[in-house]
Each structure stands twice: as structure tokens, then as C-alpha cells.
């Protein structure tokens, strides 16, 4: 897989981004100021992963969205995208990389910890306040944002 920044004249892979965030308006908002990176398969014809970085503080970048095509999951692509995000944060002289995920996103919480992130905060009722539709994953209502971070 090859990872590169999405060119300004390219359309972001919205279907893929919607796999990680069900609200198109939220996605469009962080795409405005964020940096979108796409992972392209080895044959060069298909976007199989995406992530978006945005600066949230002077020294902090946040992974606002990260998604891998369902048929390509569990192949190390997500880990490669996170590693690319870490390297991008370092190259851009940021010292902290953050990510947030839902309390119901059990496998994502484990994934981020395996990538070196540590849980630092719970933003209670984040999803209740910011999303009109109720989100349910793993039989759990997604209410709270679990915040994780790492020093880069």
C-alpha cells in the first residue's frame, strides 16, 4: 500500500470516511482545515484506507477520522495509517498526537492502545450532544468520547 496526501483537486473518499463517522457535516467540517491522506492498494487503482489530521492546539494534531475498506480490514492497513500519521506529526514538528473514539467502539479502543496511545480523558455525552442519530455498536449506545493520546 502507498499512502499519500489527497490533492486539493481530488474528492475525498466520503463513503470510506462515513464508515468511521456517520455524520457527513462533521466530516466536511474537519476536511476544510484538515489534512486528508489516502492509502492506495499496491496496484494503484483503489483507495483502501483514509485518515484525516487536524491541528487542535499549537503542539497537537488529532486523527479526526481513520477508516479502512471493510474487505481490507485485519491486514495491517489501519496500523500502517496510524504509523504514517505519527511520522507526519513528527515531520510537522507536533509533539502530541490525539485520537477520540466512542465508548462503544471496543475494538478501536484496543487498536489505539496497541498502537501506543493511552487513554487520557472521557468527554461524557459527546455523541449525545453532537449527533442527532443514536449510534449503537456492539450492542452499546455510543454516548461518550474516549480520548487517547501519545507523545511523538
Q: Is 130 helix (H, G, I), strand (E, B) or coil?
A: helix
Q: How confident is the model at residue 83, as a pLDDT?
A: 98
**Domain ranges for the chain:** 2-151
Q: What is the pLDDT of residues 21-42, one digit of tens each?
A: 999 999 999 999 999 999 999 8
In sequence order, what DSSP letters do the residues of 50-108 get, joined into one string?
A: EEEEEEEETTEEEEEEEEE-GGGTTSSHHHHHHHHHHHHHHHTT-SEEEEEEETT-HHH
Q: State the DSSP code for 76.
A: S
Instruction: Report the alpha-carbon distance of residue 91 to residue 145 in Å, rounded.
Output: 28
Burial class (CB in 10 A: 0-12, 13-18, 19+), 60: middle
Query: According to the CATH classification, is domain 2-151 in 3.40.50.300?
Result: no
Q: How confident is the model at residue 44, as a pLDDT?
A: 80
Q: What is the pLDDT of residues 74-120, one digit of tens each?
A: 999 999 999 999 999 999 999 999 999 999 999 999 999 999 999 99
Residue 42: half-sphere exposure toward Cβ, Cα within 13 Å: 2
Q: Is 98 helix (H, G, I), strand (E, B) or coil?
A: strand
Amino acid at each position: 500500500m502507498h499512502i499519500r496526501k489527497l490533492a486539493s483537486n481530488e474528492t475525498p473518499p466520503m463513503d470510506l470516511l462515513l464508515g468511521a463517522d456517520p455524520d457527513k457535516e462533521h466530516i466536511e467540517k474537519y476536511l476544510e482545515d484538515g489534512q486528508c491522506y489516502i492509502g492506495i492498494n499496491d496496484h494503484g487503482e483503489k483507495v483502501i484506507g483514509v485518515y484525516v489530521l487536524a491541528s487542535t492546539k499549537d503542539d497537537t494534531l488529532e486523527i479526526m477520522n481513520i477508516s479502512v475498506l471493510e474487505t481490507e480490514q485485519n491486514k495491517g492497513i489501519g496500523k500502517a495509517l496510524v504509523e504514517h500519521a505519527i511520522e507526519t506529526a513528527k515531520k510537522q514538528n507536533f509533539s502530541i498526537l490525539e485520537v477520540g473514539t466512542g465508548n462503544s467502539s471496543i475494538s478501536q479502543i484496543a487498536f489505539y492502545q496497541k498502537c501506543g496511545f493511552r487513554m487520557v480523558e472521557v468527554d461524557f455525552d459527546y455523541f449525545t450532544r453532537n449527533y442527532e442519530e443514536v449510534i449503537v455498536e456492539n450492542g452499546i449506545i455510543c454516548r461518550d468520547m474516549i480520548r487517547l493520546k501519545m507523545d511523538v
